[in-house]
Structures are given as C-alpha cells and as structure tokens.
A and B are shown apart, each in its own frame.
Chain A
C-alpha cells in the first residue's frame, strides 16, 4: 500500500481538519464533532434543512455537497461506514430552521438503520423529517426491483435539485417530492479497473487481474454484473449508456443531463474521452443533452474507473439544476 497518510486511524479526522482549514467560513463542525459538518449559516430560518451522510472515502460525496443551494449538513462515518444515529440527529438539530428536515442519502443498510433511528430521535424533539434514498445504480438490481438499488454518483442530481428547492423556500413535502422525482428519473452505471485500498487494513477491497474490468461496480468495490477483458473507452461508453437508455427508456426527443464521474484514480482526460462517445451515442438516439458534468463527483478512494449517470429532464428539473449553488467542492453560477 502506498498512501499519503499519517496514522491510518486518524485518516478521516485529519481529512476533515484539512477541509476546514482550506475553506474557512464555508462549513462548521456541529459541537466539536469533526464527523458532523453544517453550512456556516445553518439553520436558515423558515427553510427546509437537508441532511445527508454516509461513509468516508467518497469525496466530494458527501461532504462536498453542503452549502447554499445544496445540503445543509452532513454526518460521516469511518471509511465506508455509516455515521451513528446520534450524529445524524445532531446534524438534524443543527440545521432545522422550523420547516423540517429532509434526509437524502444513498441506499445502504447501515445508513438506513442510523438515519431511520434519527427520524425517531428528531420526532421526539418535534422536528419533522422525510427520507428519500438515492438508488440510481442500474447494475445493482433490475428495473422491477429499482427500489432496492444502491445509491451512487447520480445522487448528485438529487442534491442539486432538492437543495435548490429548499433554497427557494419550498415546503418539506415539496422538497422531498422533488428529490424523489429526480431519484426515480436518474440511472447510473459504472466500471472499475483497479481496486480501492482501505487505509486501516492496507488491503485491496477486491482483486482484479491486469487487463480486466468489473462492469457494474459499486462505489465500495461491490461486484457488478460481470467481469471481462478491459475494453476501449468507446466500447465502455456503449455498454454504460446502452444499459442506461434501456433502463430509462430514453427515446428520440427526450432531454437529459449527463454526469461522467471518475471513481478516484482515473484521469480527467480519460473521462472526457469517455464523454465524447457518451455524447455521440445519446445524440445518435435523438436524445438532447441539456447539461453535462465531467469530473469527480463520487469516488471510492483510489479506485480507477468511471460511471455515467443520466437524469431525464423536464423544465422543472432543469431549472433546479441551473439554480445557483456553492460549496468548497461544487459551484453553479446563475446564468
């Protein structure tokens, strides 16, 4: 293992300390807990708060999407481990501006347990909550079991839309409806070409022989649909976009936003090579691409690989994507 770290056990806390020092004024810790970060101006009175969270190791997911026009707070655990229910609850209290709090996070068992427990704790304090789970990974379950899918990079779209809705003063029910609407209209699929190495164990999360790729991989290195020889960028794009077009039943005249996401160790150049073909395939089908995002939005430490996410757009969703937003890791400037 070669990593730029100090003591493995301090990896998460030292990473958060670095973020706070590098971006003063943007985020604050809740209490003294480095694992709970809120936007500096939270709670915003009268506006819905949005709390997200999950394991560390995915930056800019989850900590990177806290700020005006995005989430209000985040609770994180150790690498690939859930935050505790109490941390989620503390985040909830810190951002409740009297209009309730939306829990928006990826569909993973440990996270669901702790966020659900936090719902009960919040209710005891008379804070209303709603929950929407990111579940966009088409490789993790077939369409008919879409509610059981894992949440991966496509949750970015839900953050963006729900965050914009909360910022303009929508009610809790409306913010939750918008988040759910975006989630069910988002599909993602990824491939991995080299594994993640956990700082604490120093071991690769899975073995992948040279020259092979894992198709449909999750952001913790969960196995995908199958493993096969490494293909060209165009072949990979064809695979990923093909599965997404089928899943969302995209047809001539549909409008979409596209996110090509790097999993941590894949150069931006390669992501653009991938996007070139993604764009070609979608436009070839008559699909109109209204927004494109290329970069690292949800990573898995040093995993090499990429995912493609597509959000089917309508005017309402597009308006929310285009609304201003700001965090140390993401900025949308109003046109």
Chain B
C-alpha cells in the first residue's frame, strides 16, 4: 500500500477508534485509574492532526514517527510513552519504504511489541496490551495475503482479549489488584483489538469514502 493511502486509512481508523473511548475508560476504571479512554481519544485526535500535516511523499517510517510523537505528547502517561516507543521501534524496521507490504506490517507490529515488552519489562500472559499485539504479529507473518492476514490478526487479537479475563494482571497499576484482577478484561489489549478492527473497517471501506 502506498504511504499516502496508509495515511488515509490510519486517520479513518483512528477517528473510529475514538468511539470506543468510553468502553476503554470503563474497563480501565475497573483495573486501573480509568485514564485510558482519555489517552486514546486525545491521542487519536492528535495523531489524526499530525497525519494531516504530513506531505504526500512521506515515508512509512516518517508516518509512524509522526504518530508516535503526537501520541506521546497528547496526554502523557506511561501507556502513551510505551505506545510511542513501540511505534518508534516499529518505524526503524521500515527504512525508507513508501510502499509497505504485508511483511513490513508484520515486522512493524513485532518490533513494536518487542519494544513494549523490553521497556515495560513485561511478557505474554502478564495481562497487558502485549497479549493482543503478539498474536496479531503472528497472524500478519503467517497470512497468505494481506487481507487474510489482517482478518486473522483480528481473530487472534479477539481470542487473546477474551483470554485476558482469566489472567492476573502482573504489570502496572492493575497488578495492585492481584487476584481481584482475574475475571476482568484487559483494557490495553482491548484498545489494540479495537484499533485493529477499526483498521480492518477502514481498509474495507470504498475508496470514495476514504477521506
């Protein structure tokens, strides 16, 4: 996909993502401090604005870095910094591509997840956003074509998010709840799933609607 089209898809997906802010706030209120809704809505808004400023010929890496910067500064928090660092790490895998393909997307998501794991000192099963990112990266790597790969990534993330309910939170504020965190769905993982779903919808939208 050309970066200019990627820019349009990203903006559309993020505009949709804001619609999930209340869901994310409620999930986060049960497990943390409830600021994830604001982080996502202000963050998505800031990223959309940054993407609007990008030139047509921006590379995919420049696009990812612009997203990272805007997201980090919109509503600063540990979550925002982790996501920004993930996007930055992802951008480094893209070199100067202006037409990223499925393999680029897989590498990008994997590198973002790895950086979040590294910075956050977290691993799969700790009940964090990572639990949804990694199955999606697996699916993007394995998929036979880009559309099938994204569909599989959404399915994988959906299953992973459902599975977080049985897990105990081991990182961040949510870990203070200890056993009481079991039974609750992880807000970070859910946020990533919603982003993927919004991305899927934005891709499938007729080109004429992509504005």
Contact = CB atoms under 8 A, between A and B. Distances in A.
A121 B72 CA distance: 7
Nearest to B66: A124
Nearest to B71: A124
B80 to A, nearest CB: 8
A125 B69 contact: yes
Contact of A114 (B72, B78, B89): B78
A120 B69 CA distance: 10
A86 interface: yes
A113 B88 contact: no
A121 B65 contact: no
Chain B interface: which size bin?
A: 10 to 19
A85 B81 contact: yes
B121 A120 contact: no
A117 B118 CA distance: 10
A109 interface: yes
Contact of A121 (B84, B120, B121): B84
A84 interface: yes
B88 A124 contact: yes
Given A84-B76, A86-B76, A117 B119 contact: yes
Contacts of A120: 68, 81, 84-85, 88-89, 115, 119
B139 interface: no
Nearest to B121: A113
Contacts of A89: 72, 76, 81
B82 interface: yes
Interface in B70-114: 72, 76-78, 81-82, 84-85, 88-89
Contact of A124 (B72, B77, B78, B121): B72
Nearest to B68: A124
Kindly state the interface size class of chain A when it binds its partner: 10 to 19
A121 B71 CA distance: 10
Interface in B18-39: none
A16 to B, nearest CB: 20
A14 interface: no
B81 A117 contact: yes
B71 to A, nearest CB: 10
B87 to A, nearest CB: 9
A113 B78 contact: yes
Nearest to A112: B121
Interface string A108-148: 01000110111011011100000000000000000000000
Contacts of A116: 119
A128 B119 CA distance: 18
Contacts of B89: 120
A113 B119 contact: yes
B89 to A, nearest CB: 8
B119 A124 contact: no
11 contacts: A84-B76, A84-B77, A85-B78, A85-B81, A116-B119, A117-B81, A118-B81, A120-B81, A121-B72, A124-B68, A125-B69
Interface of A: 84-86, 89, 109, 113-114, 116-118, 120-121, 123-125
Q: Which 8 pairs show the lowest CB-CB distances between chains A and B?
A: A120-B85, A86-B76, A117-B81, A85-B81, A124-B69, A120-B88, A116-B119, A121-B72
